[in-house]
Amino acid sequence: MIENLNDFVKLLSQGVYVIGVTDGTHENAFTAAWVMQVSFNPPLLALSINPAYYSYQLLQKGEAFSVNVLGDHQYTTAAHFGNSSADKMKGYAWQKDTTGAPILSDALAYFDCKVRDTTPAGDHIIVIGEIISIGKLNPGKPLLYQQTDTMDNSKDLYA
Ligand SMILES: Cc1cc2nc3c(=O)[nH]c(=O)nc-3n(C[C@H](O)[C@H](O)[C@H](O)COP(=O)(O)O)c2cc1C
Tens-place pLDDT, residues 117-142? 999 999 999 999 999 999 999 999 99
Q: 16 pLDDT exceeds 90?
A: yes
For the CA of 124, the closest atom of ligand 1 is 11
Which CATH number fits the domain that encloses residue 149? 2.30.110.10
Mean residue pLDDT of the chain comes to 97
The amino acid that residue 42 corresponds to is P
Ligand 1: which residue has its CA nearest to atom 5? Answer: 32
- If one residue of 26, 47, 53 were mutated to test the ligand 1 pocket, choosing by the most ligand atoms within 8 A of its CB, it would be 53
Cβ density class 95-130: b for 16+ within 10 Å, e for less: eebebbbbbbebbbbbbbbbbeebeeeeebbbbbbb
The Å distance, Cα 51 to ligand 1 centre, comes to 11
User: How much of the chain exceeds pLDDT 90, in percent?
Assistant: 96
The Å distance, Cα 43 to ligand 1 centre, comes to 24
CA distance 100 to 130: 14
- Binding pocket residue ranges, ligand 1, CB within 6 Å: 16, 28, 30-34, 48-50, 53-55, 78, 82-85, 124, 148, 151-152
Q: 39 pLDDT exceeds 90?
A: yes
Domains: count for the chain? 1
Q: Which domain holds residue 47?
A: 5-157
Q: Which pLDDT belongs to residue 159?
A: 78
Tens-place pLDDT, residues 41-87? 999 999 999 999 999 999 999 999 999 999 999 999 999 999 999 98
1 vs 133, more confident: 133
